[in-house]
Amino acid sequence: MTRRPLLACLLAASCTAGGGPAAGTWPDGGLLTCAQPPCTFLFAALSLDDRLEVFSLDDGPAYRGSVDLDLDPNPGGDYGDDRLDEPYETAVLGPDLLVPIGHYPARDRGSLLWLPLSTLADHDIGATVPKEAFFDGAAAVGGARLVDAGAQEAIFVARAGAGAFVTAVENDLFAPEDTWTHPGSVQFVDGGAAGVPRPLDDLPEGACDAAGEVVVLPGGRLAVACDGNEAVAFYAVDGATISPVALCDLPPVSNARVRAVAAAGDFVVVAESPVTASADPARLWRLDEGCALGDVAEIAPGAAGTLTDLVAVGDAVLVAGTLGRRGIHPVRTGGEALEACPQLSGLEDLFTGADGRDLEPVALAATADGGRLVVGTGPFLPAPDDPGYGKLALVDLAPGACGPEVVAVSDLTDGATGHAPAVAAGAGETYRRMPGPLTIHRVRAEDLAPLD
């Protein structure tokens, strides 16, 4: 198709072209088609399936197409041994989509892929962008850049101005958690390059081991979940530079997962849950940089299961739970205390696959206005040759008596007209074993610039 003006900057970006913002027009076809800007796109990184799926959340919603990210080929969808590429959290930065690749070129090394949005705009709706459009088997081509992240598991991204902070676990996620004793790292990236990984080992109270999710708070603060030592690290932000503020420990627990964190005003809410499917407490903590733990909310006390993702929606956060805690649980954050609310109803169909097995919520994302939630569901610990039969669904929300409530649910992956292809056994390019992480980007017409 003919190349058209392309999507250039995220809503909060300060992009310029020729000395000032270009008015621009939207592409009249292709994966970035949008009827009326500003436009909202969902990028779903299917980590176990080496694929990115793209949806417009304005027009319908509608499936736009996918990107093949199988840089280290795994025939039949087998992600065993060293064939797990694992694309992860994405960000739109200038004219590029930033995609961290967790295990390429080796299991203990990662890369950052800067994929020009023009590559997406040049492909028709419903098409799969082949990896040959940006990768020749060894290096990036077609305007893309594939750079060494300089870190192990550099997979979590938080947008900050015209760039982003990327945190790295710096530990082997395939090894037992009691071996995750190395400090994580963070780097600031922009302009199609990698940054310099900075160890998170200089906090007054110690190091942030096995860094997880990162969020930017108002007032120039960065918060990082520390999965290796069950804590949250706070740093002051000055452009691309960060300075240590505090390392805040959660109450002592054993074998806990502390990887998901969400910004809720000037404090954070962090999820703590058992690593395995035990009945140990699963809790949300409210925490600020003064290390005042504040309130705690227990999620399905006494049940067995883990917490997989966390997203802020208005004056609440929504947390995804698995197995005995299966569901999306709202927790109100706007009052004097955290308040656990009844789990969202009307989502039961999302938790059953086409093969009849149970699916678990593994990833969440919400629009900026809190009116729409995207839920990714998949089987618990799928095997390498398992099609998964996972789903991506758009959930319309409305304020309720205790947190958000469900108004409508649309399965975006049932193969219906305008939806993504359904999973087909034997067709690895359709597998959905772990649909996520999910990121939503809203863009304006003035953020568009003409192609060269």
Q: What is the pLDDT of residues 268-288, one digit of tens each?
A: 999 999 988 889 999 999 999
Q: At 325, is the pLDDT very low, low, confident or very high (cuts 50, 70, 90)?
A: very high
Instruction: Supply the pLDDT for residue 82.
Output: 66
- How high is the mean pLDDT of the chain? 88
At 18 the pLDDT is 29
Q: What is the pLDDT of residues 134-172, one digit of tens each?
A: 999 999 999 999 999 999 999 999 999 889 999 999 999
At position 228, the amino acid (one-letter code) is G
pLDDT at 27: 64
Domains with residue ranges and CATH for the chain: 1-249+437-452 (2.130.10)
- How does pLDDT run across 188-216, given as a tens digit for each residue? 999 889 999 999 999 999 999 999 999 99
Average pLDDT (238-257) is 92
| Chain segment 337-367, per-residue pLDDT in tens | 899 999 999 999 999 999 999 999 999 999 9
pLDDT in the model for residue 107: 85
